[in-house]
Structure 1
């Protein structure tokens, strides 16, 4: 799992002086493996972790960041695209792959929404059927109750005579 530079920095801040908290305690608190924290300490001491260049790696970008880069690159002409990509440490293949990933995400979401809509429509039809059945049963019960009252009223009149 790749952690952002900010997360690594905040964890190192807790375990290194001046706080100097116990690694096991910080590990339990954050859910990050204690060995991972120890590796970060070694990297920080050797200077590998200090610059934060890991965050600029294309594989750690969020879908939103990828989308923004794809849109930004689409507005740039071919001559300036190379410079744009070099500044960000990217290749044209990244843009192509991300564009396809984003399209797939949209299609998948669209398909999922269509499926949910179909399920909801089916449930609405079932509920409407059930409601109609219950309304008919209620109307029938009301009619029987009215007939029972009429019968009761008629039998009382006959007894009085």
Structure 2
């Protein structure tokens, strides 16, 4: 059923302050289904009208409803604000308090965002430090394992050089192969040569 626009607007005014009638009250009074009234209220809210969900005191309105009042009254001068408040059963002091609350909320949000960025930066720095430490430990463990394997594979290689004798060509080739394998596994050249009992310069 279609209703005249004038009647629809009149009913919406009853939903708005200062009357703030509830949907059940209006449905009984006007003989219109609650579903229709809920749809009208939803559409009106989408257009920016302040229609509280229930008959409550203004201080008990939702944050969204108070914020809408702040938006509507922001460009008004003192006289316009007073007239606006009288029409809706409000006090200018209430609107000013809501304005201050909105401003403080923005400042608090900015401060919280700054704290979050600082905390995130500190956490990233801590994680980076941990990753570097883990990488260092992993390298140390890899080198230890590589040198241990090299020591087991060495056998008598390098024994001749330790006795002052020249290392045979096959042994030298074997030493080079083992040292290179140890390097690939994470050992430093100097450490690998030390295990093999040879000098880095002669390697």
Distance, in Å, in 1 between the alignment partners of 2:102 and 2:144 is 63
Distance, in Å, in 2 between the alignment partners of 1:103 and 1:77 is 19
- Unmatched tracts of structure 2, length 5 or more: 1-20, 25-52, 160-170, 172-203
Corresponding residue of 2:63: 63
The Cα offsets for residues 72-126 of structure 1, whole Å up to 9 and x where unpaired, read as 1124465543332222111221221111111111211221222222222212211
| Pair 53,138 (structure 1): closer, same or farther in 2 beyond 3 Å | closer
Corresponding residue of 1:125: 125
Cα deviation for residue 146 of structure 1 reads 1.6
Cα deviation for residue 156 of structure 1 reads 5.7
Corresponding residue of 1:139: 139
Corresponding residue of 1:43: none
Task: Provide the secondary structure at the position in 2 that maps to 1:112.
Answer: helix
Q: Does 1:87 align with 2:87?
A: yes
Corresponding residue of 1:97: 97
Distance, in Å, in 2 between the alignment partners of 1:154 and 1:90 is 93
Distance, in Å, in 2 between the alignment partners of 1:143 and 1:53 is 73
Q: Is the 8 A contact 1:63 1:102 kept in 2?
A: no
Paired residues for 1:42-61 under 5 Å:
54-55=55-56, 57-61=57-61
Distance, in Å, in 2 between the alignment partners of 1:82 and 1:146 is 84
| Pair 53,83 (structure 1): closer, same or farther in 2 beyond 3 Å | farther
Task: Provide the secondary structure at the position in 2 that maps to 1:90.
Answer: coil
Greater helix proportion: 1
Distance, in Å, in 2 between the alignment partners of 1:84 and 1:103 is 21
**TM score, norm. by length of structure 1:** 0.58
**TM score, norm. by length of structure 2:** 0.47
Distance, in Å, in 2 between the alignment partners of 1:59 and 1:77 is 22
Distance, in Å, in 2 between the alignment partners of 1:67 and 1:99 is 8
| Pair 142,53 (structure 1): closer, same or farther in 2 beyond 3 Å | closer
